[in-house]
Chain A
Amino acid sequence: MRRLPILLTGLVLFCAPVMAQTAPGPGDVAVAAPSQQYCVTVMSGFPNDDHVARYQFFRLSQEMAVGATPQFRAALAQYGDAEVNEQTPILDVIEAIANPVLRQAAPEMVIGFMEHLIDFEDRCGAFLEGQINSLKAYDGDLVWEDPLITEDALFLRQVLSESLDRAGAADNPAHAFATQDYAANLIQTRDNMEFQVFTTEIDDLEAIYMTDLDGRLARSNDLINKEMDREGLDDALTLAKDMDKSFKEQEDKRRLYTLWRILGR
């Protein structure tokens, strides 16, 4: 019985690509069949002993390809130089990109590795999406990994941008615009992420402070409203009525006296 989750995981992971292909939504374009072998081969190099790690790497691959326009990929093709193929384990590829020594010494290699990942995402996007959706369906908590994955991907994309710069792409009129545009997008993405964090922190502050404020104000209102003496109004109205009555009686007397004077003249 305790093995059930593991078996389910295996089943889901095994079936996921098939599910992704056999259940197209309305208007979906058929998955590119010629890439299938390539995609399955590359994906077999992803971690497969832990569904969280597998999700992280799928999502990381997806995120690292953000902003890679055809023009930018042309720059990668020109400046990239790495010995990498579909058999290379994904972990090795990513570790190589993150390696500070390699970044400094051989930016072309970093570019080459990133080009490999971006190419993989471009060709196998549908497979990746299918795997990610299946894993999310299996474990809804995986979405909590997303902010960290986005952060890591942004770091690796910045490494790529710097590597291209170091390799001289920014000085090449053919690629300058694409690489500068990519770098500007990275800044904007970084801004957006930081703003998102800022907003989340303010949201948290607001939730704490506003609930607290609302409670305090409500209690204070109740307390102060108790100071109100509503019976005082009744007394005031009775007093007004008494004064009116007394005045009316005086007026009636005065009027009778007037009548008596007229009749008695």
Chain B
Amino acid sequence: MGHVKTAFLLSAALLVTGCATSAKGISQSAVMKSAMAEPLRQDVPPGTAMAVLRYPAHVEDDAKQAYYDAYSKRAIGGRLSKDSGDASEIQALADGMIMKSNYYALSVYKEMAAKMPEHSVLLSPHTVKLGADGKLTSVPMTQAESLPTVVTVDFSSYSFPDAKKMMGKAPLTFGDLVTPLVTVHSDHRASAPTKGLKLASAPLLPYAAGNGRRDVDTSLSALQSGTFETPSAPLDFVAFLNADSTASVASQSFGKMSANTVTSFPLEKIQLDKKDIAKLSAKDGGVTDPLKNAFSAGFANQVIGIINRTDINKATMVSRASAISQYDPSLAALTIVGSQDADYQARYRYAERLLEAEQKYLSVQSLRMFDGVHNGEIGAQTRDMLKAEYEHLEKRRELARQQNINTTMAVLGVLATGAMIANGGVGQDCSRSRTQREYYECQRRNQAANKVITDVAIAGIAYTGSKAFSLNKQSKMMGTNYMSSVAPILEQQQTVTVNLIDSNETITAIRFEDLRAKLQTLYSEKQRSLDTVATRCGYTHDGAVKSGTWLGVCENGLANGAGVGVLRNDDGSAVEYYGYAVNGQPQGAGYMITHTAAGSTALEGNFTAGRADGTMRETSAGQSARVVSYSAGAQTGRAPVGSPVATPFGNTPLSVPGAGN
């Protein structure tokens, strides 16, 4: 009976404690081991940013409950069990995620800014709030996303919403562990088949693709209503939390290089260098960036690689037109394909210089936000906290090691006791007894001694098993206690960080408004008149559908000259066209993107009466751009090698034929 109890206790200990893991991670992200760092080979016109880094910086009070609910419901890397901790613990983890995203985003910003030209990387912290439909959404806290930008990068650092699973394999950002979630988008005009999505952490990929599709939709609607301006898309992580509709895109695993395919970035739990963590709480702790050599530097190289393979003109043309339209609406649509006319060139230069002034201004704001958060008390406290978390984690790791030793000892104890019993136990050799009486006496003494030894051994095993069980409980409780005790600190940290970002934005906006008014006055005084101006009129595409909108040069109410055409068909498909038109139809060099339920494809080349006609560059999902021949809208086969492809972007400042994927 005693053996059964022992076995039961031991099994329970093993089952509950198992072989405790000690919250390990990989020492370097895959981005650090991938292809060699490549220098930035692209250039951007003045007033254009290379990258905008977006991250969740704040959750509005009204949205907090919805955020916490979504955070626990939409866990990455596992499911929450019934004993997954109380609401306050989950909230602390959710708040911690915001705080750490705020901090680690700055490491990524610093690395990207170091590898790209001055003023070309901007920070765009987002506020998570409730949308008009009651669902979570996020909006930028600064104007950084109003500038033309080659790529937008979403960054957040994730923790599984259960502190009890901290020591397991669940993704975690705590102490020396970081789990980055990233996505990289360009404008869909530069990457039509993937709707602009370039790279995404695996769990976010379908939601980022869904966000890309909604972006396309919003942009087309804006163009149809005669404006280039579109609101910034919410963060992809928020789309994930919301369980927004997803979209499927051609994807590939990280490290592969297929064209027109989204790279799926693995979910990684990265373990930072202990030496770097140890330096964090020093006075000059801000100089130490533990994420740099584990992730940020490599990720910045990835972003540069993506920019190098992006057609910058296509990626920025509409956002540039949108930014210019604030100063000069009649010029905006003309900038899409540009012009060699002296009046246009003169006027465009002015507009570009205004955007450059805006860019410098917003860049100063980003640099100061970095300075305020990273180098200020806020950053110092975050580093203190990371150090404390690391020490906390190390204690739990020690407990896990003790737990494993105790579990092992219990197992060995059971085996040893079993062997002893099987071998008849310990005691005198009764076979040497001379009389029957002596033999029975000897046997009785041995049995009594064995009972005491066995009882002690069983108690020891049970105690060791129980200790392992207890260590496990202690470790879990430590996590809970820690999260509960630091919850108010996280709250305060977030409040002060948001005050700083808000204050930076308010100061910038007030001064910026003033500056913009002066720039506007200067522009109005100095600009030359335009011989040809852009307006809004009809675009008929193939002559049959009359519901399209044209922003550009018009004549007799129809597209006639350079501009942008857009239309939606009854079947839900849509067409975007950038280039030259006559009588409302594409005619001459143009770039056309067609969106259907099956996906999006792009054609660049010559058009006649709305139809592709001649040598065209065709871009579709999962394959490199192909040069093919078209006649009256129908493909007639591959074009002869070296056939020139007409492009409408020959007059733009950065037309790179063949660039992009």
Contacts and interface: CB of A to CB of B under 8 A. Distances in A.
Interface of A: 184, 187-188, 191, 194-195, 197-199, 201-202, 205-206, 209-210, 212-214, 216-218, 220-222, 224-230, 232-233, 236-237, 239-240, 243-244, 247-248, 251-252, 254-255, 258-259, 262-263
Nearest to A209: B515
B376 interface: yes
A228 B378 contact: yes
Contact of B500 (A194, A197, A214, A221): A221
A233 B385 contact: yes
A232 B459 contact: no
A217 B357 contact: no
Nearest to A247: B477
Given A194-B346, A251-B474, 9 more contacts: A201-B522, A220-B503, A224-B372, A224-B376, A225-B500, A226-B377, A233-B381, A236-B486, A251-B470
A254 B372 contact: no
A213 B508 contact: yes
Contact of B503 (A201, A213, A224, A239): A224
A227 B368 contact: no
A221 to B, nearest CB: 3
B390 interface: no
B45 to A, nearest CB: 15
B515 A195 contact: no
Given A198-B526, A227-B499, A213 B507 contact: yes
Nearest to B346: A191
Contact of B481 (A226, A243, A262): A243
Nearest to B354: A202
30 contacts: A188-B342, A191-B342, A194-B526, A197-B526, A199-B353, A202-B357, A205-B519, A206-B361, A209-B361, A209-B511, A209-B515, A214-B368, A217-B365, A218-B368, A218-B371, A225-B376, A228-B378, A233-B384, A243-B477, A243-B485, A247-B474, A251-B473, A254-B470, A255-B466, A255-B467, A259-B466, A262-B458, A262-B459, A263-B455, A263-B456
Contacts of B377: 225-226, 228, 230
- Kindly list the 6 A-B residue pairs having the minimum CB-CB distance in the complex, ordered from nearest: A221-B372, A225-B376, A228-B377, A217-B368, A243-B481, A240-B485
A217 B459 contact: no
A195 B349 contact: yes
Interface string B386-416: 0010001000000000000000000000000
B384 A230 contact: yes
B254 interface: no
Contacts of A255: 463, 466-467, 470
Contacts of A230: 377, 380-381, 384
Given A216-B507, A243-B485, A210 B360 contact: yes
Contact of A205 (B381, B466, B470, B515): B515
Contacts of A263: 455-456, 459
Contacts of A252: 470
A265 to B, nearest CB: 8
B518 A258 contact: no
A228 B384 CA distance: 13
A240 B89 CA distance: 13
Given A202-B519, A214-B368, A251-B474, A262 B463 contact: yes
Contacts of A206: 357, 360-361
A225 B486 contact: no
Contacts of B63: none
Interface stretch (B488-496, B552-560, B591-599, B639-647): B488-496
Of A198, A205, A206, A229, chain B has the most CB atoms within 10 Å of the CB of: A198
Contacts of A201: 522
A184 B455 CA distance: 109
A91 B493 CA distance: 74
B303 interface: no
Interface in B326-362: 342, 345-346, 349-350, 353-354, 357, 360-361
Of A195, A227, A240, chain B has the most CB atoms within 10 Å of the CB of: A240
A232 B459 CA distance: 45
Contacts of A202: 353-354, 357, 519, 522
Interface in B491-539: 492-493, 496, 499-500, 503-504, 507-508, 511, 514-515, 518-519, 522, 526, 528
A187 B508 contact: no
B621 to A, nearest CB: 44
B478 interface: yes
B20 to A, nearest CB: 16
Of B456, B459, B492, chain A has the most CB atoms within 10 Å of the CB of: B459
Nearest to A218: B368
Contacts of B353: 195, 198-199, 202
Contacts of B70: none
A237 B485 contact: yes
Contact of A221 (B371, B474, B484, B488): B371
A140 B386 CA distance: 58
A210 B511 CA distance: 9
Interface in B263-318: none
Nearest to A219: B507
A255 B463 CA distance: 7
Nearest to A197: B526
A224 B381 contact: no
B407 to A, nearest CB: 15
Contacts of B489: 232-233, 236
A98 to B, nearest CB: 25
A218 B370 CA distance: 11
B372 A217 contact: yes
B361 A213 contact: yes
